[in-house]
Structure 1
Amino acid sequence: MSNPQAASAQQEAIETVRDLIKGIDTAMLTTRTEEGLVSRPMKTQEVEFDGDLWFLTMKDTNKYRELLQDSMVNVAYVGQSYVSIRGRAELVDDRGKIKEFWNAAYSELLDTTSDDPNLVLIKIRAETAEYWETGSKIKMVKRLFSKLTGTESETELNKTVDLDGV
C-alpha cells in the first residue's frame, strides 16, 4: 500500500476491530453450502487481531468440506458491541502453527492432541467489518428517538470499515 493515508486508515480500522472483539471467547463462523448458509460457534484464538482471524477445526467436519468448496465466510462477535467480519478463509495445515495456538481447552473440546493429523487451521483474511457500539445508553436513546420520529441523529447506528485496504 503506497498511500500513507490509506495505510493509516486501514491500521486504524484494524485497531478498532481489535478493540471491539478483544476478550470475546466465542465467535459464530458462517459458511456457504449448496443448501444455504450455516453458522457454528468457534473458539477465538488468543492472538491480537491484525487483519487475520484464526480458528482450529478438524478435517473430517462439514465446515472443512464447505471451505474447500467456497472460501467466503462471515464471523460474528457479540460482546459490549456487535461485530460482523466478512472475508475469505484459507485452510492451513501447519503443525508448528497449530501447536502455537494449542491450549488445554482444545484437548477437551476436540478430544484430541495437537499432534492429530486431522487438525487444521482456518485463517480468515478479513475484508470488511461492520460494527454496532452499544456502550452508551444516551446513544441508544438518541437512536431510538431518531427511529421513532424519523429525524436525523448525530449518532450512527453502525459503521462499516474496509480492512482489506482495497
Structure 2
Amino acid sequence: MMSTPVANHEAIEKVRDLIQGIDNAMLTTMTSQGLVSRPMKTQEVEFDGDLWFLTKKDTNKYQEMLKHPAVNVAYVGKSYVSIRGEAELLQDPSKVKEFWNAAYEKLLEVPYDDPSLILIKIKAETAEYWETGNKTKMVKTLFERLTGKESEETDLNKTVDLD
C-alpha cells in the first residue's frame, strides 16, 4: 500500500511521539530455529523513519540480520508500538562515535573506535500501535472482546505505513 507524502509524514510524527523517551526496545530477528528477541538500547536520535542500534559483529543478531534482514522492534512505554522493517548493517566509525557513551564501553567491553562495532539501521516499513491513555479501559475492552461482549471501543490499535 503506497502512502502519500503527507500521510507518511503524519505517520512518522505519530510514531516519533509514541516512542519518544523510551530508552530500550526489543529487537526481533529470525534464526534457523525461529524468532528471537533481545533488548536493545535505542539511540537518542529523533525518529525519521529509521531506527538506529549499536552492536558488535561477533554477535548472533549480526549473523541473523545478514541472513534475514526483516526485523521487528517493539517499544513499551506510554503506548505499545511494534515496528516492522528491514535492517541494514553499517560500518561507520564517525556515526558510532556520535552515538557512543560510557555505558556502551562497559556493556560492549570495547572502546568507540573498535573495528568490531557495527550500526544497525532499520528502515521502518509499518508500525502498529496501541495507545494506552486509559489502561483500565483498554483491559476492560480486551476482556469484553475475549468474552464476546460488545464494546464501545472498536479500534484498540492502528497500523500505519511508514515508507
Question: TM (normalized to structure 2)?
Answer: 0.91
- The amino acid across from 2:7 in the alignment is A
Find the residue that maps to 2:84 and give its secondary structure: strand
Deviation at 1:153, TM superposition (A): 2.3
> Which residues in structure 2 correspond to 1:2-151 (within 5 Å)?
6-137=4-135, 139-140=137-138, 143-144=141-142, 146-147=144-145, 148=147, 150-151=149-150
2 CA distance for matches of 1:80 and 1:69? 33
Give distance in 2, aligned partners of 1:150 and 1:163. Answer: 34
Q: CA deviation at 1:86?
A: 0.3
In the alignment, structure 1 segments of 5+ residues that lack a partner are none
**How far apart, CA to CA, are the structure 1 residues paired with 2:153 and 2:19?**
25
TM-align CA RMSD: 1.8
Alignment partner of 1:151: what SS?
coil
Where does residue 159 of structure 2 map in the other structure?
160
What do residues 56-96 of structure 1 show as CA deviations (whole Å, max 9, x unaligned)? 00000000011110100000001111110000000010111
What is the CA distance between 1:112 and its match in structure 2? 1.2
Kindly tell me: are residues 141 and 85 of structure 1, through their superposed partners in 2, closer, same or farther at Cα, counting changes over 3 Å?
closer
Q: Please give the alpha-carbon distance, in whole angstroms, between the structure 1 residues aligned to 2:136 and 2:39.
A: 32
**Structure 1 pair 144–33 and aligned structure 2 pair: CA distance change class (3 A):** closer
* Partners of 1:90 and 1:124 within 8 A in 2: yes
Match for 2:160: what amino acid?
Answer: V
Specify the code of the residue in structure 2 equivalent to 1:100. E
Alpha-carbon distance change, 116 to 8 in structure 1, aligned in 2, over 3 angstroms: same
How many corresponding residue pairs? Answer: 161
Alpha-carbon offset, residue 140 of structure 1: 2.4
Query: For the residues of structure 1 that align with 2:137 and 2:16, how far apart are their CA atoms?
Result: 22
Deviation at 1:136, TM superposition (A): 1.7
Quote the sequence identity (%). Answer: 70
TM norm structure 1: 0.90
Query: For residues 134 and 112 of structure 1, what CA distance do their matches in structure 2 show?
Result: 39
SS of match in other structure, 2:159:
strand
Whether the 8 Å CA contact 2:141–2:151 is kept in 1: the answer is no
Shift of 1:49: 0.4
Q: Are 1:142 and 1:155, in contact at CA under 8 Å, matched by a contact in 2?
A: no
**Bigger Cα displacement from structure 2, 119-128 vs 147-156:** 147-156
Q: Is the 8 A contact 1:92 1:120 kept in 2?
A: yes
Read off the aligned partner of 1:44 and give its amino acid letter.
T
**Residues in 2 aligned to 1:138 and 1:76: alpha-carbon distance in whole angstroms:** 22
Which residue identity does 2:36 align to in structure 1? V
